[in-house]
Structure 1
Amino acid sequence: MKMFALNKKINFKSTFIRLLLSYIMLTSAILFVTTLAIYSGYKRQIIENSISSSQKILEQASYYTNYTLNWAKLFSYQLYLNQDIYNLMYLNKNENTTEIANPKIMQLTSSIPSIYSIYIYNNNNGKIYTSVSGEQKVDSFYDHEIIDILKNSSETFSSNLIPRRINLSSEYNSNYKKNILSIFLSNSKNPKNNLPDGAIILNLDADEVEKYFKTISENGCDLFAIDNKGNIVLHSSSGMFLKNISQSDYLKKILENKNDNGNFLCDIDGKPCVITYTALERMGLKFITITPYNTFLGSINKMIHLIIVIFITIFIIGAACSYLISMRIYSPIDRIVKQVKSKALINNELQNYSKSNEFDFLSIAIDNILNEKLSLKKLSIEDTNFIKKQLLKSILLNTVVNFKDIKTKFEELNINISENGNIAIVFKIDRIKHFYSRFSNRDRQLVRFGICNICSDISSKYYSNECLNINGNLIALILSTSKEPSQEDLDLIINIVAEIQNYVLSYFNVSLSSGIGSYAYSLSQISSSYKLAADCVNYRLKYGINSILYYDKINADINNDYFYDEDLESSLFNAVKLGNIKNIETELDKMLNKISTYSYSNILLSISQLALHSKKLVDTLYKVNNETRDLK
């Protein structure tokens, strides 16, 4: 019942209610799209920042790993140059071990924490000298895996770190296992046993190396390096060494991807995560970070609450502004409706529309007035001018359904154009933003009214005419001419237009561009003439402001075969990359001269394409130089 009473009280067909609801819906839509864009942009920015941070961490990890390998190689080579170490490598069976050599190895390992152990292999006597357990026979050596590596490897100097786990249970009565990263330096192999005559094996403590990964990795995130088989070589968490993860979906995606760097979203154990990776090809390693998505949620939730508060606040302000704007727009409509009701004859048809939409009411009332000659006498000059402008506007915009008795209506409304033979001219205010900034709303209306008066006064010396304001920056002038204009007539019209432009510029300091339409043989063709004039005036983009444009002038310069010249664009962008201002100006002139030969729609298409490609180029240059930018 309450809803029914509300419907009776509020007329939802009213123009005011429709305006109010339209503005509220528009405000809501804009707010919704804006807040959604802000949320999406913030969320994307958070993820991009995380990815950027992860990429920097990966760069540090790969640099450190590469540095560790190079340091290990250099250290191994220094050992090789040590005379005591060299003697251990090549002792014959009958020679005794020096008393200095083995303690020398012990001293080296104890002074550098990242070195777990050093092996010196001697093929002549079949022994290995270690910093862990001293001198041992090869056959009984606890780390027999290294012997297999020396035998099967084709390298004489390791190109990569070799991840291994050695079991010390045979040496110590325990099941102690140690994670190490090995490299070796050896000479040519002996054909008898396919082992080198001598070798230096350096075993790095993998746990010590992994400490750096733990230091630089972020809380809750995993940082690790894997080999090409999917084995973990280094990890920020303990207990992951040599674990094979090649069956993981995200790792399959990384291994299948040919790119050395990348990032993507993936579910791991049912939890969404951001995966970032990079490759160190020379070491055969890929470095990966896994950042759980929930690490972003705290910041995102705070942003959602802030957005909701802002949304509600702006919506309330927008609703209030919508009411004020609707009232301001509706006031003149309401005034005209009241005047028509007070002066026009209200028949049954008008009575039915009087309580619905005001425009429907005015449309029926105006139609009745136009069809009843005597009814115009009851209307004020303001109402008559309103009807006159509406009729002319309907003719220009081709919304007149029936041209029957149009001559009578022209006489009643004192319209100074003929039924046969007219030309439409469109004037467009240049620098419209500057125009709006210079004049208040009332002053702008006065300026437009003054422009119409100037157009009519100057044109009336030669032609009967009507002038009216179409919208904020378009003014239409209709010239009545008895015949299709010759070149002499066209020159006269151009002179009239130029005189109008000069007067307007002199009196109001407002520049006008103009377009001249085609000859309209009947009233129904005036809309085509108007449309052509409006299309012509758009070409001020090419010819400049305060121009006078018509079809023959524009068509002579148009190249209908549209082709976006990528060679000119490439020359321009090369000049930009080189930073040569003179060449940039030259190439840009060539590009714009080429674009200016196309039709208006193709000009806009070319400029849009050039702007889009230019932004991509600038973004790339800033990214290469690691600089910030403010380009929109």
Structure 2
Amino acid sequence: MKVFGFYKSKKYLQRVMFSITATMVIVLVASSVSNTYVLEKTVKSIQEESNLKVLSQIQYNLTYMNEIISRLSNFAYRDHFLIPLMFNETLPKMDLIRGHRQMSNIMESSSFLHSMVIYNQAQSELYGSSSNFLLDDGVTKEKIRRALLDPSHPQPTNRLIPMSLEQSDGRIDTFAFIVTDSLKPFSNIQSAIILFIKSDWVFDSLKKMNVASNRDQGDIYIQTQDGQLLTSDPLASFMSDQDQAHIKELVQEDKSSGSRMSGFVIGDLSGEKEMLTYMEDGIGAWTILYIQSYSKLMEQVTKARNQSLLLSGLFLLLAVGMSVWLSYKLYHPIENMIKRIKPHLPDEKQDGSASFDELSLMSDNFMKLSEKLSEISSEHIVSQYYIRRFLTDSQLFSHHDMQHLIEKHELNISVKDQLLVCVMRIDNFAAYDSSITGTSKKLYNFAIVNIAGEVMGRYYPCEAVEVRGDHVVLILSQIVQETPSPFAQVTPLLREVQDTIERYYGISLSCGISDIISQYPFLSTAYSQALRLSQYVIVKGHKTIIASEDIKENLASKQMSLPDAIEKKLTEALKKGQLTNAGNELEKAFSLIAGFHYEDIIRAVSNLAWVIKNTAADIHENRIISFSDDMDYIHQITQEKETLEEMYLSLLSVCAKICEGQRPANMERNEMMLETVKELIEQKFPDMNLSQQSIATSVKLSSAYIGKLFKENYHMSITEYINEVRLNHAQLLLEQDNYTISEIMDKCGYANQSYFFRLFKGKVGSTPKEYRMKKSIS
């Protein structure tokens, strides 16, 4: 009952549970019904196709039987022994005897014949071959006359006509087949041969087809044009006049609806549902029917449907259980939220037995909280505005006005104790500003303000506000118990704020702490002082806390620029390529700069950058071989770097690049000379007189000197290099052009063929001819 009461009291849970359960039930029921429908439809389709195949075979058999009988009847019609029996007005006894004997012979040669009768129109007489016909005192003859010789009911020729010759109950025992000299319907005005076919011969074919196709669950019938059903089974169903008329009606309706010769019909016969497949025999005389019990045919379908319904029922139970479990899982967060907001609800809604909609309840509570938050937010915006005004324009307010505003807006600033201002700046703000999106910046600023306010607020009355996006300002009020040493806990608490922000957000903060003030109008002065102190992170480094006593030497310093000697020595070291000396001078310069005022620090570093750039320009202008190094970025160092250490390393890196480009002048001259030698060889290699001596003469140097210098730099002699260039060119000519070997030697500067062959084989490993042949094949 408790469980039922729990679910009953939760309207949203009821909706979720009902929706999931109803969805599962609908899906399972629809799946089961559709599967059963598809299965039944598939079985019907397969059964119809199978039945039509069987009926097509039966149709073929009946057509084949009709052809056999037609051939026999045509043969008999032209028999000269039977012609007298058909056409003579007076029949001699010998012709009669010969005719009877011939009919007996035909009967003996055809096992499917029941009997044979010849009608003589001139005599209006029937001559038969069977014993019944001859010995029953004309009873059979009279049956034939009534059935076939009635002028008012002409009979079709060359077709099987069902008849009852021997059965007194009218059941079909034979089929008549009339043959005349025309295709017109037969009556007593023309002679004819009438063959009587055994009914068993016809119906046995139907039986064999039904058994062969394993179709003992249904019955095969032949329907005549007047709707009569023919079958060999004396106990066959649907033989009543009412069933035969209903079958005829069903078949005719389906035929007329689609103008087709075969089809598939389901209807009620003898009080039961039956499936009826029909097909015309091909000559328009009969319709072949196959009637099956629908319940037997669909027995497997019914069994499958029952099993499917049973499984669906089991799955429904499982689905209900899962829906309850899933609903509660989905509802669990809402339940937890309801538990959390219940203590803040009115008394009438805290009663768990009360009927309420959870979402409406939370919506109402959310709207109330939103209204309250809006009020708080509006008041917070106003409070933040006045705090910023106090920090920037406090001198515009009187002591009384500021005290009134503080009390009116309930600012957490003491109106009677001493105050302290702290500025917390984000280190590497340029990189932070370019890599963080606007939304993330707001989140981080919000986090810094709240964490700083919460940490500092544990010990001091504190107001925190974000200013210009790059720093946060804290206004701290002194507490009474700190009278001997006011604000003693500020530095440890600021360190805690720095560690917390860096640990959670990866943001480094540096802090500036103003001097203690006792009057509100001095807030602007204290803020400016704290902001200026925070700039001295350039000297102290990132994540430092700076008070005025920490940089008193900088504030007291009178030096504003570097001595000229340092800049001069730095310039000389750079021009000489002496990185060690340049680094020493740079280190001396930054040691002095670290004691300057902030503005003088920036100016001194900028001057150093100009000195280094001008020196690089002088070196670049006076060098024989210039070195490429972009020096424009050197002026951005003071803007991109925040500490002297970073600036020092950047300028030292520039000095290293300049010194690396400084090499002795003779090395440059040797490089130029060797490059000239290589260019001469690559231009004049076809000249047979090209040699080390001729090259030395061209460059105005001794042959020994130029040979030694070339060997030291390229680890090969000039002669070896000449041959290397010539042989490389010879390879190209052998691969690409159709020059003769002599022409190639001439173009490459060789006069002696054996010498050329020896050098070529030494380089390539084959003679020029072999090399050309190999390349042409590949």
Give the alignment's TM-score, normalised by structure 1.
0.49
Q: Which has the larger radius of gyration?
A: 2
Which of the pair is proportionally richer in helix?
2
Structure with the bigger RCO (C-alpha within 8 Å, sep 6+) is 1
Give the alignment's TM-score, normalised by structure 2.
0.41
